[in-house]
Amino acid sequence: MNTKQKELLQKTLDRIIDYIENLEDDKGVIKYKTPAELNEKFNLNSKIENDYNAINDDIKNYLTYSVRTGNKQFFNQLYAGFNFPAFLAEIIAVLTNTSMYTYEVAPVATLMELELIEKMCSFTGFLNGEGTFVTGGSNSNYMAMLCARNKKTENAKMDGLYSCKKLTAFVSEQSHYSFDKAANLIGIGVNNVIKVKSDVQGKIIPEELEKEIKQSIKRNENPFFMAATTGTTLLGAYDPIPEMHEIAKKYNLWLHADGSWGGSVILSKKHKHLLSGLNLADSFAWNPHKLMNIPLIASALLFKEKGTMWKNFSSHNTDYIFHDYDNADFDLGPKSMQCGKRVDSFKLWLSWKFYGNRGYEKRINKLFELADYFEKKVAENPKLELLAPRQSLNVCFRYKPSKSNININSFNLKLRNNVMQEGKSLINYGFLNKNVAIRFVIANPEVNKPDIDILLNNILNEAKKIDI
């Protein structure tokens, strides 16, 4: 490392420390700029090379104009907050730059991941389970659907789907869009993902699920997969796994549980009833980068039956990388969809070690208390309207403008966008029964009731400006 590199490294470290120390200053969540304004700030079309000053400027601008997801006013996504031990692990993982295909090149990381998977399986009730860290919940859902396809059609892995009956998958109408992507990737087609009706709480209706399966069979199709969402993105609803399991068993379907958002609730004795029956599922998507507050990405896919990954993901002609040696049984690559695989498990390892089971339970319980507090504050305010009962950590609401002739959807869209561009708070929205619903989600365990009061005041103050 030369002198200039050392100087740049020191400046960057100083900036990082300053950034962490000032996450809660009056700079807010974002200094909003249009794409054209940002392009000008970064000079993105520049052809400058080998210029340490340019690197220094880009680092400064990146930290200045990126969304501060660690700020306590960031409620926009299903992740938030800053996790110090996990941050340290990320630095070390990048510094060592190992890839987790063989024990030979990632000995410590391999043992850590295996231990974490075993621990996570113990929470889900997969007593003979296995799993792997993946690149996100969408990838987990895709891999689970692939395994279900291969189980239902024994020759699909080697020969494809050319001689197979049409395969159909079943998910809630409230499920994540990644199931459509998965259907495209595994070759069954997006139109063969059947969206099952949900109730007013956003939960899949078991009777409707069975009806759709029966209709598929009558059409001479081959139902093979169903997914229970444990924490929907808009309402935070949890599908009834035991009832779905009975239907899956009756018609021989794979039951996957998508806990990408709400899976970590299983760590709380008080709230894990929401995932009742999880041990009955064939697979489970769990994203620690959400409710466990781990930096992106930290996602795991768990299987109830050991050997599932080898059967579905192993490949031939790999002797250039996977060798017959003493520790070959520890190689993770042959059981992964990926070849190159970064060390995401170390972040979860250090964080779980730091907070412990009890610490995580307290953090998740606190998030539920804060969601309850927010819901009550909305219900008490005559200018705000709850659009659905709270299921878990999501609260959907809207502002009621003074004049009845104002389009309430347009008003609330403008309200949300103005709050976002103001930069003091960041909160998202969705559509619930064609109504614009401003969606509050709580994922940052460092947030307290005064922070929620600030969010509500920022929303109400902006609404008053528009209302006038």
What 3-state DSSP class applies to 182? helix
Question: CA separation (Å) from 111 to 88, 212, 299?
Answer: 19, 44, 17
| Spatial contact of 169 and 132, defined as CB atoms under 8 Å apart | no
Q: State the CB neighbour count (10 A cutoff) for residue 311.
A: 13
pTM value is 0.94
The answer to whether residues 459 and 425 touch, using CB atoms and an 8 Å cutoff, is yes
Backbone angles phi, psi at 343, to 5 degrees: -85, 90
- The full length of the chain comes to 468
Q: Which two tokens stand for residue 67?
A: 């969304």
Q: Where are the domains of the chain?
A: 3-66, 90-352
Confidence (pLDDT) at 454: 96
- Report the distance separating Cα 400 and Cα 466, nearest Å: 11
Asked if residues 238 and 156 have their Cβ atoms less than 8 Å apart, the reply is: no
CA-based nearest residue to 422, from 400, 378, 455, 449: 455
Look at residue 45 in the predicted model and tell me its pLDDT: 67
Q: What is the CA radius of gyration of the chain?
A: 24
Instruction: Give the 3-state secondary structure of residue 4.
Output: helix
The phi and psi torsions of 299 (rounded to 5 degrees) equal -130, 140
| CA pair distance 138, 130, nearest whole angstrom | 19
β-pairing, 130-134 vs 299-303, is antiparallel
In the prediction, which pLDDT does 318 show? 60
Host H or E run for residue 246? helix 241-251
Q: Which residue has the tokens 């209302």?
A: 467
Q: Is 239 helix (H, G, I), strand (E, B) or coil?
A: coil
Helix axis angle, 345-380 to 84-96, nearest 10°? 150
pLDDT in tens, 218-235: 999 999 999 999 999 999
Please tell me the predicted confidence (pLDDT) of residue 344: 94
3-state SS class at 337: coil
CB 196 within 8 A of CB 172: yes
pLDDT value for 158:
81
pLDDT value at position 311? 87
For the chain, helix (H) and strand (E) counts, in that order, are 15, 12
In this prediction, residue 156 carries a pLDDT of 85
Position 172: which residue type?
S
- Give, in order, the Cα–Cα distances in Å from 210 to each of 191, 300, 369, 411: 18, 29, 36, 40
Is there a contact between 350 and 88 (Cβ–Cβ < 8 Å)? yes
Query: Which residues lie across from 230 on neighbouring strands?
Result: 238
Contact (CB, 8 A) for 86 and 347: yes
Specify whether the backbone of 258 is left (phi greater than 0), alpha (psi in -120 to 50) or beta.
beta
Buried b (16+ CB within 10 A) or exposed e, 356-388: eeeebbebbbbbbebbebbbebbeeeeebbebb
Q: Which class is 90-352 in CATH?
A: alpha beta
Query: What parts of the chain have a pLDDT lower than 70?
Result: 25-26, 45-47, 315-324, 326-328
What is the pLDDT at residue 199? Answer: 95
For residue 37, which amino acid is it?
Answer: E
User: 315-326: per-residue pLDDT in tens?
Assistant: 666 655 555 676
User: CB of 222 within 8 A of CB of 256?
Assistant: no
Q: Where are the alpha helices (DSSP H) in 22-106?
A: 35-42, 52-65, 84-96
- Whole-number pLDDT of residue 319: 57
